[in-house]
Structure 1
Amino acid sequence: MKVLASLALLALVNYAYAADTTVVKSCHDALLPEVKVTIDNTVCAEGPCVVGTGSDVSVMVSFDTPVKLEHIKAKFVASGSSGDIEIPLDQDDACVGIVNTKCPVAANDHVDYEYTTVLDEEYPEGDATVTITLLDEDNDDAEVICFSLDISIKNS
């Protein structure tokens, strides 16, 4: 009976975890973080995440850093029928997006990074895959984390 109760508890914990996170795909061998994408305060559990122009979009990424991080930058690239487009960010230093600690971050420390924006009206309707990477500027822009998710842009 204890085994059954333990399995039920484990299933509930996994359900709660899945309900509050977004399923993403890993890039090559990069660390796969826990990700939560919210659009207008609603969690997108699995892609394609539907985003309307003018929507508030937030990406929260949680991970244990494999190396010391002092200078990091975020890179967002959208890939669709028009090719690859780097999405300009209003954040030159990704350390400002770390919400639970400050840079420098020691190796093996936990990091919660958040980027929030409003989707510009300039983006056309369509489907794309967005690849999000955090890069270690002190290590030749080595990838710290990298993941992708599918989105569908709808003009509102």
Structure 2
Amino acid sequence: MKVLASLALLTLVNYAYSADTTAVKACHDALLPEVKVTIDNTVCAEGPCVVGTGSELSVLVSFDTPVKLEHIKAKFVASGPDADVEIPLIDACKGIVNTECPVAANEHVDYEYSQVIANEYPEVDATVTVSLLDEDNDDAEVICFSLDVTIKNS
């Protein structure tokens, strides 16, 4: 019952963010950040976010880190009908736009990742799960969320 109440609270907090954010789903017990997904500079308010090939997909994640972060990496996994595809792990310190690593506990972090969707991508509906992992703490998840995405050929 406590888990259900916690998930309900996290969902309500997520919807309380401004209209300039994207509604995302929480992953288990990890921190649910404020997320803004844009496609060619247009905010996707909720999934599925439709992305055309050749479009720029940008994800801005804002959160207050619960612990000191010195070495962090981003993990992106797209789960589709036929397979899961993992984007190679990325040094998340390079994506922090408002401060630098190491990040002190309780410090605010804005992390951004952008990618142009290659024309070779097939049309597909997928759930993308994004995690930031603390490499100094056995890759413990600092934040985690998922979002439904539809890729369309442009």
Pairwise same-fold verdict (TM > 0.5): yes
Q: 1:122, 1:134 → 2: CA distance? A: 27
Q: Could you tell me whether the CA contact under 8 Å between 1:50 and 1:154 is conserved in 2?
A: yes
Counterpart position of 1:5: none
| Aligned amino acid, residue 119 of structure 1 | I
Segments of 5+ residues of structure 1 without an aligned counterpart are: 1-14
Q: CA deviation at 1:17?
A: 4.1
TM-score, L = length of structure 2: 0.87
Q: Is the 8 A contact 1:71 1:138 kept in 2?
A: yes
Provide, for residues 60-118 of structure 1, a one-character-per-residue CA deviation record: whole Å limited to 9, x for no partner.
000000110000000100001012110246xx311011011000001111000000110
**Cα pair 2:73 2:93 within 8 Å, conserved:** yes
Q: Distance in 2 between matches of 1:38 and 1:139?
A: 31
Residue 25 of structure 2 is aligned to residue 25 of structure 1: yes
Corresponding residue for residue 83 of structure 2: 83
* Structure 2 segments unaligned to the other structure (5+ residues): 1-14
1:5-52: per-residue Cα shift (whole Å, max 9, x none)? xxxxxxxxxx99432000000000100000000000000000000001
Matched, 1:66 2:66: yes
Looking at structure 2, the residues matched to 115 and 145 of structure 1 have their Cα atoms a distance apart, in angstroms, of 14
Q: Matched residues, percent identical? A: 83
Q: What number of residue pairs does the alignment pair up?
A: 141
TM-score by length of 1: 0.86
Which structure would you say has the larger Rg?
1
Equivalent-residue separation in structure 2 for 1:155 and 1:146 (angstroms): 28
Moved over 3 A (4+): 15-18
Q: 2: distance between equivalents of 1:123 and 1:76?
A: 16
Q: 1-side partners of 2:60 and 2:132: how far apart?
A: 12
Aligned to 1:143: 141
* Root mean square deviation, CA, Å: 1.7
